[in-house]
Amino acid sequence: MKIEKHFKDVSRGTLDSLESYAKAVMEWNQRINLTGAKSFEQFYQEQVLDNVCALKALEQSILLKNIFDRHENEPQNESKNVQWLDIGSGSGLPGIVWALLRPQEHFILLDSLNKRTTFLEYMKLHVKLDNVEIIRDRFENIKWDNFSSKSNSINNSKSSKIKIWNHNNKGLSIFVSRGTAKADKIYSWAQKTAYQWKYWIVFSSLESHGSFVKLDEAQSFRENNEKNKKSEENLIKVGAIPYENIFLDDPKRSVLTVLVSPF
């Protein structure tokens, strides 16, 4: 499995850390439920490398490429004002994988279960991820605040507060979720929190992406009927970034649904 052949910009050290992460998931999986994969090879190939392929598709997509290009050309201390929120991180997908691949950016890993955040905290130390923050809470409980400084590594207060980069200034916040929640629920969350993020990336099947498109069309139809131009300008937009896990014998075409905040 010659990963370097396909991703020449990924260092050997990063690849070693990805493998260490996958091995740790399988070890911990014997005690707590982190993945349905039955072996290291299955988890690494079907999950970890899938997340690598997804990120590369994001970086090359016209929807977000200008964002990534802009930050790649900035000094390292300036490029940290890209912040990712991994909602329902679970075993650390995609948060741990993407944090290893983009060490210059800040990642918040959010999960409501103590056993999972304990594992994530272990991984943060195990692969030395200084750019990762872990919060134990449900997304619905989060209180939002302007970003000023990091909170404690694990925040498990009754109502956690996440400090968000103000993307109207120099920062940019990107939310990401694995799509375990139904499209209408994620879309509802997105509408309620649209001031807090610029892009929301959802790992989707073709069917679930179609659900997002229908929700988008229904919202646009309602606004057009009301002839409210100002309201129409404040609608969330829905886009798609297709990708394939090129490391599978029979690559399956997947899609990243991209919600774009109007703010």
The more confident residue out of 81 and 150 is 81
Q: Are 196 and 179 spatial neighbours (Cβ–Cβ below 8 Å)? A: no
Q: How far is CA 99 from the centre of its chain?
A: 10
Gap between the Cα atoms of 72 and 118, Å rounded: 32
Q: What is the mean pLDDT of residues 222-247?
A: 77
Name the residue range of residue 82's domain.
3-260
Integer-rounded Cα radius of gyration of the chain: 18
As for how many domains the chain has, the answer is 1
**pLDDT above 60 for 82:** yes
**pLDDT above 80 for 66:** no
> Given strand 253-260, what is the order of strands in its sheet?
154-155, 132-136, 106-111, 82-87, 172-177, 199-204, 253-260, 237-244
Q: Are 34 and 51 spatial neighbours (Cβ–Cβ below 8 Å)? A: no
* CA nearest neighbour of 167 among 134, 193, 206, 185: 193
In 141-196, beta strands by DSSP E: 143-146, 154-155, 161-164, 172-177
To which H or E segment does residue 66 belong?
helix 65-72
CATH number, position 157: 3.40.50.150
Distances (CA, A) of 166 to 61, 85, 169: 23, 14, 6
* Across 52-56, 77-81, 122-126, 195-199, least confident range: 77-81
Q: Which residue blocks in 73-145 are alpha helix, DSSP H?
A: 76-79, 95-101, 114-126
**pLDDT above 60 for 151:** no
Gap between the Cα atoms of 63 and 132, Å rounded: 25
Q: How many residues does the chain have?
A: 263
> Which three-class secondary structure state does DSSP give residue 162?
strand
* Across 12-26, 141-155, 180-194, least confident range: 141-155
Tell me what the pLDDT averaged over the chain comes to.
85
